[in-house]
Amino acid sequence: MAKDALDLPRHVVIGGSAGSLEIILRLVACLPARPNAIVTVVVHRKNDKDSILVDLLSSRTTLPVREVEDKEPIRVNTIYLAPPDYHLLVERADMFALDRSEKIHYSRPSIDVTFESVAETFGARAIGILLSGANADGAFGMACIKKAGGYTLVQDPASAEVGFMPRQAIERSPIDRILHAEEIVRFLPELLTK
């Protein structure tokens, strides 16, 4: 767990796969102009160098949106996107790292890898949000965030386009809140002010 965790900003880490893009766009749009947090998004996606995901996210927010590069410094009030075909890790509280090790749950980037590293580094300052998806990626990572004292929020499987991923997280460990997509969009700004 992170030392001096109270001195760290909050780190909101959002994971999703099949059926999660629309809610991710809405979550980005609902963020305050200065959330005083780091926001990291990990989405299962194809390895496409011409991806428009950064542009899509940027069109919904005034916050800077960056696809992470290896050894990239971490800045507050910025939205970071895991690049395709790399695992995204928090190397230190102020630096990301990329990794090309084997796929986890058939995925690279793996939500579990990022969530676990955020939990290890940010501890109780981590907020994990897991959305729609078709495999179990993210369930282990959410358990890590919960164990480290962070806050866990899962999309209600009944409101997810594909409920398998959030259901796996709910079955694996206690979750702080299970909300429908609309409720998550309303709740996140409130959570960031607590």
Whole-angstrom distance, CA of residue 110 vs CA of residue 5 = 25
Set 17, 110, 132, 159: catalytic member: 17
DSSP assigned state of 7: G
Spatial contact of 115 and 146, defined as CB atoms under 8 Å apart: no
11 noted as active-site residue: no
Q: Which candidate in 11, 87, 132, 137 is catalytic? A: 137
Measured CA to CA, the distance from residue 27 to residue 135 in angstroms comes to 22
44 given a catalytic annotation: yes
Using the CB atoms, write b or e for 105-136: b if 16+ within 10 Å.
bebbbbbbbbbbbbbbbbbbbbbbbbbbbbbb
* Per annotation, catalytic residue among 44, 105, 110, 117: 44
Active-site amino acid positions: 17, 44, 137
